[in-house]
Structure 1
Amino acid sequence: MESVVTEANRTVVLAAGGTGGHLFPAEALARVLTERGWRVILATDTRGDQYAADFPAAERLALEAATFKLSNPIGMVRGWLRIRAGVKRARRAYVRLRPSVVVGFGGYPSLPALLAAKQARIPRLIHEQNAVLGRVNRYLSKRVDKVACAFPILRRAPGKLKPMVVGNPVRPEIRALYDQPYVLPGGVFTLLVTGGSQGAKLLSETVPAAVAMLPETLRLSLRVEQQTRMDSLDFARRTYTKAGVEAEVAPFFRNMAKRLSSAHLVIGRAGASTVSELAVAGRPSILVPLAIAADDHQTYNAELLAEASAAVILTEKKFTPQKLAEVLEGLLTTPHVLDKMAEGAHAAGRPDAAERLADLVEATARR
């Protein structure tokens, strides 16, 4: 089944793993393509439901795919059997949907969608959000027509691969922050703490403890908005209340653009979406790369902002209440440093990434 692009058949399948890091860039691209007259189909797994509530898709294609470790032969067999089943499901769906192009954003659920597209001879491309080419995208990179990436340097890529650097698409409400100046307050200073989908316990407990160590004059001028694990909610709230710090603590924030807009400093992991959104929003940050991240990709992600003097990187080993309190006090008492960090972040931002990726999608569909 070959696909031919016509005005009557502008259908694109966006395939992404069920995490915010995969789905947020896909959502940003979906909005641009929808505005250009494309019909968007989202292919993901059930994990993606919490991130895809506002995804502008005409239809959802459920493609479950198990992860597996190369050291576990039985798990590999089971994983590939599920992937094969997903390929068959995608092939059947493509006969009905007749997509002109299939775009993968990584994660195992994108694997059957792209393999089925290759079998059906449908144009296809992948986008790598991280500074290191992920395992699934590494496997697919030789089986697609185009490879796009977010960071200027893409590590673990095959030697002959020539990816196109487009940046990491961010949602329109985040993109709007690029034109908003960073202004330090005369009164309350807002500290935003994001969690990420993995390993948030460290941030949930270390940040409140560190804030409680700050001098009273700094604590009284501080407002904290923190994403926190459910099992750390009570600890965080008690700690902030005892320290006399105004704080809003919740497991998940949906209105991230509004919170970034009012934030003066952000503490978080260094996932691709987080780093890209901080750059576009022009916000100073303290980044704590997830130590168990595959190929240490979060450290390489964070380097984009660190090299722009826009972020302080603290490894998990160094991320103690004492060290964080020291860094926080240093930044809160040197507003000129925060201003410079904001300028560096803004300079590293790629606000037109979604449009550039959409251009590449359309070019690939017409090949």
Structure 2
Amino acid sequence: MRVLITGGGTGGHLYPALTVAGILRKKDPDGEILFVGSRDGLEKKVVPAQGYPFWEITTARWPRRFSLDLFSFSLALGKGYLEGLRIIRKFRPQVVFATGGYVSVPVALAAATLKVPLFLHEQNSVPGLANVFLAHWAEAVFTTFPISPKSIPAKKLVHTGLPVREKVLKVTRDQGVRYFELDPKLPTVLVTGGSRGAQRINEVMLEVYQTITRQKTPLSRIQFIHLTGRDNYSSFCQKIGERGIEQGKIGKLIVRPYLEEMEYALAAADLVISRAGAATLSELLVRGLPSILIPYPYAAENHQHYNALFLKEKKAAVVISEKYLTPEVLLRKMEKILLNPSLREEMGSQAKKLAKPDAGEKIVEFLMRSRF
């Protein structure tokens, strides 16, 4: 089976696509998979490293208001569309799978023109502009969260969940604890703002760590894995030293800029403090992890707020709006969860109920049934 996969720009669009590709490769070892993406996106580096052929295409970000950007976007879209037609005619895919974002639009339009079955995946609670636009030609739109049929016809929506990497499902807690040399008897908190980090979360957590080292909270024996983001790492480490935050005054504090082996951090964690991107939340759910979510306030269509709200309504997470985020507020939420094992267990159980660990398998079943 020949499958063309498009989408990227960010990890949220790319990694679910790679998970689907991995399952396709296992089920059909003789099949062919081609990734198509932008020249400057994350996919250009990551996809070839995973052993898949990658072809570049002209892309442009979708303008969100009327301006001169609309003209340049139209030119780029037209060029990308023509490139997409050439790619599809050359590769002759039996199905096209697009994971959303502006990167996927030219190829998906070309697939529709040439009558190649098109399938989409929408990561967020609020559909993005690209998927709303492309849904008209799609056979189905797979979703991470239940989505209202207001923007996409109900007959096309399939609630599969978001494909999660196999490693996230397989690493045990013992393996995670050993990886970071943690004490298995003490609770561990994972703090992450994604690959780029979250400056506001970093700032507030510095205050939290300082409060802990001053013995002004019962959390003095808690262990922390803090991922600052690559851009914030050096300044964060400098501020730790300046504020007198020392290992001997806190259970354990592990600070990293980023972690390729995220599965070990998730396996070791008892509580996660993070943004509310769909990929992150899907990994928390399959691991059954309670969380304190601080949605990124400038996400398109405010989708992180709605992603987080879904978990909150199901009692799997606590949500703090960034405008109300202070060290005092965060500490109170942390103490409530960390000092109450039964609450942690209940939140984790609710998270597990929402998980869709077989999302990738379900999507691949649809794709393989659609071959012509």
User: Is 1:322 aligned to 2:324, yes or no?
Assistant: no
- The superposition leaves residues 235-280 of structure 1 with CA deviations (integer Å, 9 ceiling, x where unpaired) of 5335555233332223221101111001111111111101111000
Task: Compute the displacement of 1:307 (Å).
Answer: 2.4
The question of 1:202 aligning with 2:200 is answered yes
**Cα distance between partner residues in 1 of 2:231 and 2:288:** 32
Instruction: Write the distance in 2 (CA, Å) between the matches of 1:160 and 1:343.
Output: 29
User: 5+ unaligned residues in a row in structure 1: which ranges?
Assistant: 1-9
Secondary structure in 1 matching 2:137: coil
Question: What does residue 32 of structure 1 align with?
Answer: 23
Distance, in Å, in 2 between the alignment partners of 1:147 and 1:230 is 34
Shift of the 304–185 alpha-carbon distance from structure 1 to 2, 3 Å rule, reads: farther
Query: Cα–Cα, structure 1 residues 275 and 75, in superposed 2: closer, same or farther, change >3 Å?
Result: same
Question: Structure 1 residues 66, 335: closer, same or farther in 2, change over 3 A?
Answer: same
From 37, 54, 57, the counterpart of 1:44: 37
CA 1:166–1:243: 2 relative to 1, 3 Å: same
Question: Helix, strand or coil for the counterpart of 2:42?
Answer: helix
Residues 196 and 231 in structure 2, CA contact (< 8 A), matched pair in contact too: no
Contact residue 172 and residue 267 of structure 2 kept, 8 A: no
User: 1:365: which partner in 2?
Assistant: 371
Tell me if 1:243 matches 2:245.
yes
SS at match of 1:130: coil
Q: 1:305 to 1:180 in 2, by over 3 A?
A: farther
CA–CA separation in structure 2 for the residues paired with 1:57 and 1:101:
20
- Residues 1:185 and 1:54: Cα distance change in structure 2 (over 3 Å): farther
Cα distance between partner residues in 2 of 1:87 and 1:113: 6
2:138 maps to which of 124, 133, 144? 144
Give the match for residue 15 of structure 1.
6
Which of 260, 268, 279 is the equivalent residue of 2:266? 260
- Taking the aligned partners of 2:14 and 2:343, their CA distance within structure 1 comes to 33
Structure 2: stretches of 5+ with no match in the other structure = none
The amino acid across from 1:40 in the alignment is: I
Residue pairs, 1:76-155, within 5 angstroms: 76-154=70-148
Separation (CA, whole Å) in 2 of partners of 1:324 and 1:51: 37
Determine the C-alpha separation between the residues in 2 that align with 1:74 and 1:319: 37
Q: Is the 8 A contact 2:14 2:43 kept in 1?
A: no
2:60 aligned counterpart, secondary structure? coil
Q: Which moved more, 1:200-209 or 1:256-265?
A: 200-209
- Between 347-356 and 191-200, report the one with greater CA deviation: 191-200
SS for the counterpart of 1:52 is helix
How far did residue 152 of structure 1 move? 2.1
**CA 1:96–1:32: 2 relative to 1, 3 Å:** same
Aligned to 1:4: none
Q: Which residue of 2 aligns with 1:225?
A: 225
Q: Go from structure 1 to structure 2 and tell me whether the alpha carbon gap of 1:175 and 1:51 turns closer, same or farther (over 3 Å shift).
A: farther
Residue-pair matches, total: 357
Aligned to 2:286: 280
Q: Deviations over 1:190-249 (max 9, x none)?
A: 211111256711112212222322363745422222221445334533555523333222
| Aligned with 1:349 (options 343, 348, 355) | 355
Q: Which residue type is aligned with residue 245 of structure 2?
A: A
Q: Read off the aligned partner of 1:83 and give its amino acid letter.
A: L
Say which is worse superposed, 139-148 or 194-203, in terms of deviation: 194-203
Q: Is the 8 A contact 2:176 2:268 kept in 1?
A: no
Q: Deviations over 1:144-164 (max 9, x none)?
A: 222111112346523555301
**Partner residue in 1 for 2:187:** 189
Contact 1:211–1:325 (CA under 8 A) maintained in structure 2? no
TM-score (norm 2): 0.88
- Asked whether the 8 Å contact 2:196–2:230 carries over to 1, the reply is no
Where 2:124 maps in the other structure, the secondary structure is coil
**Secondary structure of the equivalent of 2:264?**
helix
Give yes or no for contact 2:275–2:293 (8 Å, CA) kept in 1: yes
Q: CA deviation at 1:345?
A: 1.0
Percent pairwise identity: 31
Q: Is the 8 A contact 1:19 1:51 kept in 2?
A: no
Q: CA deviation at 1:18?
A: 1.3
Q: Could you list the per-position Cα deviations for residues 292-323 of structure 1 after superposition, in whole angstroms to 9, with x for gaps in the alignment?
A: 11222112211232123221101111111121
> RMSD between aligned alpha carbons?
2.7
Deviations 1:167-201 (Å, cap 9, x if unpaired)?
Answer: 11101111325999999976332211111256711
Normalized against structure 1, the TM-score is what? 0.89
In structure 2, do the counterparts of structure 1 residues 204 and 309 end up closer, same or farther at CA, with 3 Å as the change threshold? Answer: same
> Cα gap change, 1:325/1:65 in structure 2, threshold over 3 Å: closer, same or farther?
same
Which of these residues, 290, 295, 302, is aligned with residue 289 of structure 1? 295
Contact 1:204 1:229 in 2 (8 A): no
Deviations along 1:124-160, one digit per CA (max 9) or x if unpaired, are 1111111111110000010222211111234652355
